A and B are shown apart, each in its own frame.
Chain A
Amino acid sequence: MLELRIHGRGGQGVVTMAELLAKAAVKTGLEAQTLPFFGVERRGAAVKACVRFDQTPIRIRSMSYHPQVIALMNGNLLSYARIDGIDPDTYFVVNAKEPLDLQADQWILDAEAVAIENNLVFGGEPFINVPMLGGIAKVLNIPLAAVEETIRGHWSGKKADVNLAAARQAYEQIKKYEGGCRQ
Chain B
Amino acid sequence: MSKRMDTGNAACALAVKAANVDFIAAYPITPQTTISEKLADYAAAGELSGVYLPVESEHSVMSAVAAASAAGSRTFTATSSQGLLYMHEILHFAAGGRLPVVMVNVNRAVCAPWCLYADHQDSVSQRDTGWLQFHCASHQEIYDTVFLAYKVAEKVRIPAMINYDGFLLSHSMLPFDTLDQETINRFLPPYRPDWKLHPQWGGTFGNVAAAAEYSAYRNTLAEDTLKAADVIEEEARAYKDLTGRWHGGMIDVQGPQDSDVFLMSMGSMSAEMSLVAEALQAQGIKAANLKVRVYRPFPGAALRQALPQNAKLLVFDRNLAYGHEGGALLMEARSVFYDSGKAVKIAGASVGIGGVDLPAAMLTEKALALLEGLK
Chain A residues proximal to chain B, CB less than 8 Å: 15, 18-19, 22-23, 26, 31-38, 41, 57-63, 65
Residues of chain B contacted by A60 (CB below 8 angstroms): 271-272, 275, 359-360
> How many Å lie between the Cα of A65 and that of B268 in the bound state?
18
> Assuming A34-B173, A35-B168, is B5 touching A61 (CB within 8 A)?
no
Q: Which of B3, B171, B173, B272 contacts A62 (CB 8 A)?
A: B272
**B167 contacts A by Cβ under 8 Å:** yes
Is the CB–CB distance between A22 and B5 below 8 Å? yes
CA distance A37 to B268 in the complex (A): 15
Complex Cα distance, B176 from A57, in Å, reads 10
Write the nearest CB–CB distance from A28 to chain B, whole angstroms: 12
Tell me whether B168 and A33 are in contact (CB under 8 A).
Answer: no
Nearest Cβ in chain B — how far from A56, in angstroms?
12
Which residues of B are at the interface with A, using a C-beta cutoff of 8 A?
A: 3, 5, 30, 116, 137, 165, 167-169, 171-175, 268-269, 271-272, 274-275, 357-360
Nearest CB on A from B112, distance (A) = 16
Q: Could you tell me the distance in whole angstroms from the C-beta of A114 to the nearest C-beta in chain B?
A: 25
Q: How many A-B residue pairs have CB under 8 A?
A: 61
Chain B neighbourhood of A57, CB < 8 A? 175
Q: Which residue of chain B lies nearest to A150 when distances are taken between CB atoms in the complex?
A: B5
Tell me the bound Cα distance from A34 to B137 in angstroms.
Answer: 15
The reply to whether B172 and A62 form a contact with Cβ atoms under 8 Å apart is: no
Residues of A within 8 A of B269 (CB): 61
Establish whether residues A32 and B359, one from each chain, have CB atoms under 8 Å apart when the complex forms: no
Interface of A is mostly: mixed
Please judge, given known A-B contacts A33-B174, A34-B172, A35-B168, whether A63 and B275 are in contact too, CB under 8 Å: no
A6 CA to B167 CA, complexed, in Å: 16
Task: Chain A residues near B272: list those with CB within 8 A.
Answer: 59-62
Does A19 lie within 8 Å of B173, measured CB to CB? Answer: yes
Does A62 lie within 8 Å of B359, measured CB to CB? yes
B116 touching A62 by the CB < 8 A rule? Answer: no
A59 touches B5 (CB 8 A): no
Check B175 against A61 for contact (C-beta < 8 Å): no
Question: Within the complex, which residue of A23, A35, A59, A65 is in contact with B172, where a contact is CB–CB below 8 Å?
Answer: A35
A31 to chain B, nearest CB (A): 6
> Shortest 7 CB-CB distances between A and B: which pairs?
A61-B268, A62-B359, A34-B173, A26-B5, A61-B272, A35-B172, A59-B271
Q: Tell me, rounded to whole Å, the shortest Cβ–Cβ distance linking A5 to chain B.
A: 13
Chain A residues, Cβ within 8 Å of B268: 61
Could you say which residues of chain B place their CB within 8 Å of the CB of A41? 30, 116
Cα distance, A61 to B164, chains bound together (Å): 12
Q: Which residue of A lies closest to B118 (CB)?
A: A61
Given contacts A22-B5, A35-B168, contact A61 B271 (CB under 8 A): yes
Given the complex, which residues of A lie within 8 Å of B173, measured CB to CB?
18-19, 22-23, 32-34
Q: Chain B nearest CB: distance from A47 CB in Å? A: 12
Q: Please give 16 more A-B residue pairs, beta carbons under 8 A apart, in addition to A26-B175, A62-B358.
A: A15-B171, A19-B173, A26-B3, A32-B175, A34-B173, A35-B172, A41-B30, A59-B271, A61-B165, A61-B168, A61-B169, A61-B269, A61-B358, A62-B168, A62-B359, A63-B357
